[in-house]
A and B are shown apart, each in its own frame.
Chain A
Amino acid sequence: MNCRGVSRRLSAYIDNELSPGIRQSVEDHLQSCAVCKRKLSEFRAISDAARSLPPLGVSEDFKDRVLDSVKAQDEKAIAFYGFRLRAALAGMAFVGAATAVFFISGPEPSNSPSAILSPNAAVKNDGSADRDSGTLDFTADPKIKIESFPVPEGAKALDRLEDSLLLADSSSKIDEFVLPVIEKTKENVNIKF
């Protein structure tokens, strides 16, 4: 091994980090080279000087400060997660309460007049819809009869005819032939309307 190779391995030689074979080669060279031997001596001196530097020591309360800071951090974390937990629980409680209110007071029965009104339709105290302030939902069940709905004049006339026939003559012929026709006509009027 030449001087350059030994010079590159001097530190590893000092620190016992060379394989036995390379170590032997370095030692062989050092026995015959005064320059490398001197360099080895200087490297050892520097290493020894660094190792003999007075050790630094932490201040007396250092450990307590570390443990306190960890505890303080834990408490902060607990407070933070506690707040998040409380907020989450409050949110869940609100949603639960809102759901309960919805199902308890809930939507009105589907055959009530307001059920077929659009949301912006006003409902009067007596249950009749104010046509000026809202629109009626004609897609709802056509069989639903709305009390306030205007009865066509034709239907009123049929009612009157039916009443007068029943008062005038209660014979079975009227029951058998006339009244079914009137009923059928009334149905047709209602469906058409």
Chain B
Amino acid sequence: MVSNSGKPNNSEITDKELMELIQASDEKAFSILVERFQDRLLNFVGRIVTDRETAEELIQETFLRIFNQRQSYTPDYAVSTWIYTIALNLARSELRKRKLRRYLSLDFIKEETDAEIADKTDLRAQSLMPIIEQAIDRLPEDYKTAFVLCDIQRLPYQQIAEVLRVPVGTVKSRINRARSILRDNLKPYKEIYHELSRGIPQTISLY
């Protein structure tokens, strides 16, 4: 990498301007990009693979790919769309590996339903958030990805469609279906469901 004249000190620099500097192998610009996207990517990939250590490794690999493939970026799309796409591909690859490992080890036989998990869960010892995290984790991959991009990353439907490379109508359908599945899966947790239906989840403490 080459350290340039220190132009990108301005935190107001846009993502596309940053990418132009990175395409010229500017080390400082790349450092700013990492700082700008690292937490967003962790909250995206971390919610998909649900393993923080693996998520960090995947994000590190994402940034390496961003740098290595910097010349392939074209300003037709938002920089964030391009970055999310790279991260998503890596996360999907990780999920496929896990799925294969799970089938090879026959662990899928032991999988429990949401109702079984709810019966075993000691609600008094748990707050609402881990239960919701688990419910999100148990969503089918396509629905989970769309849901996380919408409700955690807060991307507009159009950008989600570009990241997932599907029509906007498909994005609408997947997000609606994801919320519907979550609603059904959280029903066994009657107390939570009751509180959820009142729309004040962030204040709940189940004691």
Interface string of A41-61 (1 = CB under 8 A from B): 111111111111111111100
Interface of B is mostly: helix
Q: B88 interface residue, CB < 8 Å from A?
A: no
Contacts of A50 in B (CB 8 A): 132, 136, 147-148, 151-152
Complex interface bits, B171-207 against A, C-beta within 8 A gives 1, otherwise 0: 0110110011011001000000001111111100000
A70 close to B202 (CB less than 8 A)? no
Contacts of A42 in B (CB 8 A): 183, 196-197
Residues A41 and B67 in contact, CB atoms below 8 Å apart: no
At the interface, yes or no: B128 with Cβ under 8 Å from chain A?
Answer: yes
- A45 in contact with B60 (CB, 8 Å): no
Query: What CA separation (Å) do A174 and B63 show in the bound complex?
Result: 105
Chain B, residue nearest A53 (CB): B129
Question: Which of A57, A70, A74: most chain B CB closer than 10 A?
Answer: A70
Name the interface size band of chain A: 35 or more
Q: Please give the distance in Å from B71's CB to the nearest CB on chain A.
A: 14
Query: B31 is contacted by which of A46, A65, A67, A73 (Cβ under 8 Å)?
Result: A67
* B4: min CB distance to chain A, Å: 15
A69 and B60 contact, CB distance less than 8 A: yes
In the assembled complex, 15 residue pairs joining A and B whose CB atoms fall closer than 8 Å, in A order, are A12-B157, A12-B172, A42-B183, A44-B199, A45-B201, A47-B151, A48-B199, A49-B129, A50-B136, A50-B152, A56-B39, A58-B38, A62-B59, A66-B64, A67-B27
Q: 9 closest A-B pairs (Cβ-Cβ)?
A: A49-B201, A50-B151, A11-B176, A45-B196, A52-B202, A45-B199, A56-B46, A11-B175, A66-B63
Residues of A within 8 A of B (CB): 7-12, 15, 17, 38-39, 41-59, 62-63, 65-67, 69-71, 73-74
